[in-house]
Chain A
């Protein structure tokens, strides 16, 4: 048995899943995901839907921040654009199958507008432009009462697709699962194609990238558009999941959360968002479970436990960044390499 992976043709080198081991595990994982609603409780299925939506959104952010190196603090706003456009269209009788991609396109268009300053901006100044986008979009959602229902929010009609009706969480689960898998595959392919290489070149050294003929403006805009498109799709799904959407689901703190997820998972790794989201939800739900248990035991100190939850959350992220700044995906890679070559690691 070879102590490593040795390709003998370029075709095998280009395969996404390179070993049978990986293929079998992935198939098993997908099978588990499909079977999950039949074994998991209702609560677990809802959590899985949230996870799937977050995975799609974070893939988008990962393309922009992880691969192109543009820090975005306005991702939740683009999710909001998708959520509202999809729901408004759906309410006006446009079928869901058209409304959902349209939500993505709409978010991508708005993303393009706010991406235009990236022609001249970079680094932290660009991060500021995205914060501005966040506030301006949030403001528009809050104040354009006639279209979005303003502060009171908006009821979302359940989308239908053939026999599926997405106010049933089981149906929504399968749609989310399908789209999350699709998003992961799409990201993987964007990243290994010409555009992805251009993104990475821009991230690593944009001047050098320009010298070797990468059109900076075009690829930065493309990255913005792709990222916001993912966000828009995630938004459409989120609207279906939440059933009532208000501007409060799309604030800057959500944007920050998405960024945190991406960093925890590992920026610039296709699997990063998946790991990040899994870790994030596991941590959040465990803490919630813990605080609920403590609350019922000591009902007098409810504020205490709520704040303990926030503190623990923050501390975990800080510890994470101090000890594992490359994220979970990098750790996963080291573990995998170790086992692939075990016991002859040299």
Chain B
């Protein structure tokens, strides 16, 4: 394999690994948006919260990584439930901007809680082995492979869940038409709560994975904003779109870091956003979003 292609594959696969984590978090976004039409801007803080809990149980309480992972999931479900019940349910029917603002206020609270409990330092997990694996000449750390594997398999699990399970079908029904779903005897409240729980869980998992790659700190919450281009790429109301968008953003980020960095340093931080603006100009509803047809 010639080295030009090898370098490309290196960036491409790393991007794919990061992108699969983005896809996971983006799915959480889209789930909440689809069922409750709320854009949850506190997603990044959910992610940070999950990462910190897992880290704390693994390092401070010396628990098995797997055990603390499960505990984190329990905490995430609780977090999702509490937030939905206490903060967002009273606001059903309020203007959309109020609801967005509430999720922003949540970011203050969650960040405060995290700083209170764990302080400001960045800490490392060091769970996965560091040495890279040689994949047909492309060197990838195991961490990236694990992240990719875990996220992709989770995405597959959720795909099956939405397609075949009773709850998944309920959720799709509510997303499709709330009133109709309600009149068929589906509890919309329950579906809302489940959406928030799933969103909290997937973002915690995303947080744990990203935390493994770059260390756990308050900066983790920025992933929540980074995922936004991914969500928009795919269209706000398409789960498949979010996944593809996540992968595209991850790949774009790494490719731009690899090829454009010599010309404009650190371009990878904003490159997804530049592409986002362009995509929005050409396809205002994202690649897979529902186009609203307006007739007067």
Contact = CB atoms under 8 A, between A and B. Distances in A.
Interface of A: 65, 71, 114, 116-117, 120-121, 123-125, 127-129, 131-133, 135-136, 139, 143, 207, 210-211, 252, 256, 259-260, 263, 267, 303-304, 306-311, 313-315, 317-318, 321-322, 325
A128 B286 CA distance: 11
Contacts of A129: 276-277, 280
Contacts of B106: 314, 318
Contacts of B109: 310-311, 314-315, 318
Given A128-B232, A129-B277, A310 B105 contact: no
Nearest to B42: A314
B236 interface: yes
Contact of A120 (B91, B95, B236, B281): B281
Contacts of B101: 259-260, 263, 317, 321
Given A71-B97, A131-B228, A207-B296, A307 B115 contact: yes
A303 B273 contact: no
B87 A132 contact: no
Interface string B99-142: 01110111111111111100110000000000000000000000
A71 B296 contact: no
Interface stretch (B46-54, B63-71, B173-181, B261-269): B261-269
A124 B39 contact: yes
Nearest to A134: B273
Interface in B74-98: 87, 90-91, 94-98
Interface in B8-53: 39
Interface of B: 39, 87, 90-91, 94-98, 100-102, 104-116, 119-120, 225, 228-229, 232, 236, 264-266, 269-270, 273-274, 276-277, 280-281, 284-286, 294, 296
B123 to A, nearest CB: 15
18 contacts: A65-B97, A117-B284, A120-B284, A125-B284, A125-B286, A129-B276, A135-B269, A136-B274, A139-B270, A207-B296, A211-B296, A263-B98, A267-B97, A314-B105, A314-B107, A314-B110, A317-B101, A322-B90
Given A143-B264, A143-B266, A303-B116, A256 B104 contact: yes
A211 B296 CA distance: 8
B276 A325 contact: no
Given A309-B112, A310-B108, A321-B101, 15 more contacts: A116-B281, A123-B96, A125-B285, A128-B228, A210-B296, A256-B107, A259-B104, A263-B101, A267-B97, A303-B116, A307-B115, A313-B112, A314-B106, A325-B91, A325-B98
A318 B91 CA distance: 10
B87 A135 contact: no
A230 B95 CA distance: 25
- Give the interface SS of chain B, mostly helix, strand, loop or mixed: helix
A121 B229 CA distance: 15
B87 A322 contact: yes
Q: Which of B101, B106, B281 has the most CB of A within 10 A?
A: B101
A129 B281 CA distance: 10
Nearest to B274: A136
A139 B271 CA distance: 10
A308 B116 contact: yes
A132 B91 CA distance: 28
B161 to A, nearest CB: 26
A260 B264 CA distance: 34
B42 to A, nearest CB: 10
B25 to A, nearest CB: 16
A308 B112 contact: yes
A135 B270 contact: yes
A311 B277 contact: no
B285 to A, nearest CB: 7
A202 B215 CA distance: 46
A314 B39 CA distance: 18
A143 B98 CA distance: 34
A284 to B, nearest CB: 12
Nearest first, the 4 A-B pairs at minimum CB distance are A314-B108, A310-B112, A314-B109, A307-B116
Nearest to B90: A322
Contact of B225 (A120, A124, A131): A131
Given A128-B280, A310-B108, A136 B273 contact: yes
A256 B264 CA distance: 28
Given A131-B228, A263-B101, A267-B97, A121 B280 contact: yes
A303 B222 CA distance: 21
Contact of A135 (B91, B232, B273): B273
Contacts of A252: 225
Contacts of B276: 128-129, 132
Contacts of B116: 303-304, 307-308, 311
A129 B97 CA distance: 16
A212 B98 CA distance: 29
